[in-house]
Structure 1
Amino acid sequence: MILLSTEEMKQRLVRLNNLEHLHAMSRERIVGLEKENKELKQRIKELEDKNNDQHTKLEALSFQFEQIKNKLFGRKPLGITDDYGAYTNAFDEHQLCWAHPQRKLRDMAESREFGDRQKKPTLQTYRQFSQLYHVIQKKIGDNLSPYLKKKFLRVFTTIAASHTRDPVPLAKLKKSLQKNKKKYFTFLDHPDIPIDDNKAERALRHLVIKRKISFGSKTSRGAETTSILTSVILSLKWNDPDNWFKQYLALNA
């Protein structure tokens, strides 16, 4: 055991007093911080309550606006189209056609404009997109699990990710896929709709061929006549393929 001198004992007692003083100051500071923290929590709660109240009011106003808009202009139907700009605000809900980007990717993959270095990512993107497209086509209409929905979205995101080796057309297409990702997956909320407009385009194919052969209508009246007859006949044919002509004759009786 080491005996302390008088001076050492005084020094240690002074140090002890200083420690007690610091401890008291620390406790006082802690109490002050706890009080400030409590006040901040209360303020945050008040702001959250105010924000929730404003959000509720905003939702109510938005709902009222939609009701008024639908009453005045009618509700726009769900549309399935390509990404042509004219369709951007044409529908309340919009399903973008998967066949169009697939065809663009196919054309790029078969193009001879790209060198081997650029052709590789193009071909890979085409194959990945086509595979996802066909998998979704097989599953469409089924009750998709949350896991499968997330998987589709994740794979799509991976496919649309840009890379430094992407040629300009591919980079542009990927950017469009990223931008319109939500619209490509509208079918997740509407399992009864297709993910492409192939049926509609095939139905109009013979009209396109007719226009190509005849070089189109020569007058505006001829164009209007063709469009009216086409819309009526196709509507009848789609609704009743076996008796559409009888119904057409009945309409003209």
Structure 2
Amino acid sequence: MPFLEHLANKGVEIFDRQGVGLLAEAGLWGCIRYHGLVGDMVIISDDAGQFRVGNHALCWVHCERLLQKLMPTKAKEVRSLALVRDLVWRFYKALKIWKQKPSPQAIPAFRRRFDRIFKLRTGYDALDALLVRLHRRKAELLRVLERPEIPLNTNASENDLRSFVIRRKISGGTMSRDGRVARDTMFGLMKTCQKQGLSFYHYLGDRLGIHGKTIPPLAGLIAAKA
């Protein structure tokens, strides 16, 4: 346990699992950055703290979901919330259209439009406070203007994880570390086959030596498409 020994020598309480986990993640991210393994990769998240690292962008769907969670009690507040949500969705759709054919000339207009929406003051205190909070994250919400190739939401990655989560909820987890590794490996292969338009069962059959379709190595297929 060289890592735990190193922490102990530095005076860190190694039985503090949360603290050790935080330091381990920081060390891992530092190593990745030091070796230049991610380059200028953009990390898109729902604003969970553990993902707010590197070149970070915020998911627009989760941003709008914060508006959904507000509970207006007056007719005026209901109208104000409906107006803001409509403006946000229109802005989101405009960004999606812009992504298909990015135009640098349109970027200043998007930034001004963002300010007009998120600097609105409606008199509905909870909504106004949320707008102020979201305006502070302008750079992360508009990261797409600098990097048009990135998605505007985390839907694809959440869809990739959904089968893992469903399986975990049904089975309650695995009995051993080997079981967890086997489960994650098989799910990863299945998702990769789906994305490559391949039958996972044909892939398994080929790897197990069952006569049928010949499936080339997945790494080669991914590299060829890239």
Q: 1:105 to 1:252 in 2, by over 3 A?
A: farther
Q: Which residue of structure 2 aligns with residue 58 of structure 1?
A: none
Tell me how far 1:189 sits from its aligned partner: 2.0
Conservation of the 8 A alpha-carbon contact between 2:194 and 2:200: yes
TM-score by length of 2: 0.65
- 1 or 2, which has the higher helix percentage? 1
Conservation of the 8 A alpha-carbon contact between 2:120 and 2:131: yes
Conservation of the 8 A alpha-carbon contact between 1:101 and 1:173: no
Conservation of the 8 A alpha-carbon contact between 1:97 and 1:184: yes
Measure the CA separation in 1 of the matches of 2:33 and 2:166.
38
Q: Does structure 1 residue 126 correspond to structure 2 residue 85?
A: yes
Point out the more displaced range, 68-77 or 184-193.
Answer: 68-77
Q: Indicate the SS of the match to 1:140.
A: helix
Q: CA RMSD in A?
A: 2.8
Q: Which residue of structure 2 aligns with residue 136 of structure 1?
A: 95
Tell me how far 1:226 sits from its aligned partner: 2.6
Q: Does structure 1 residue 103 correspond to structure 2 residue 59?
A: no
**Where do 5+ consecutive residues of structure 2 fail to align?**
1-30, 210-226
Which structure has the bigger radius of gyration? 1
Measure the CA separation in 1 of the matches of 2:32 and 2:155.
32
Measure the CA separation in 2 of the matches of 1:242 and 1:224.
23
Q: Which residue of structure 1 aligns with residue 144 of structure 2?
A: 187
Conservation of the 8 A alpha-carbon contact between 2:80 and 2:124: yes
4+ residue stretches of structure 1 with deviation over 6 A?
A: none
Q: 1:174 to 1:236 in 2, by over 3 A?
A: same
Query: Which residue identity is paired with 2:193?
Result: L
Measure the CA separation in 1 of the matches of 2:48 and 2:73.
26
Offset from partner CA, 1:30-78 (integer Å, 9 cap, x none)? xxxxxxxxxxxxxxxxxxxxxxxxxxxxxxxxxxxxxx98554633532
TM-score by length of 1: 0.59
Query: Which residue identity is paired with 1:247?
Result: Y
Measure the CA separation in 1 of the matches of 2:167 and 2:198.
23
Give the % identical residues. Answer: 21
User: How many residues are matched?
Assistant: 177
Q: Indicate the SS of the match to 1:74.
A: coil
Measure the CA separation in 2 of the matches of 1:208 and 1:70.
29
Q: Which residue of structure 1 aligns with residue 124 of structure 2?
A: 166
Residues 74-85 of structure 1: pairs in structure 2 closer than 5 A: 74-75=37-38, 77-85=41-49
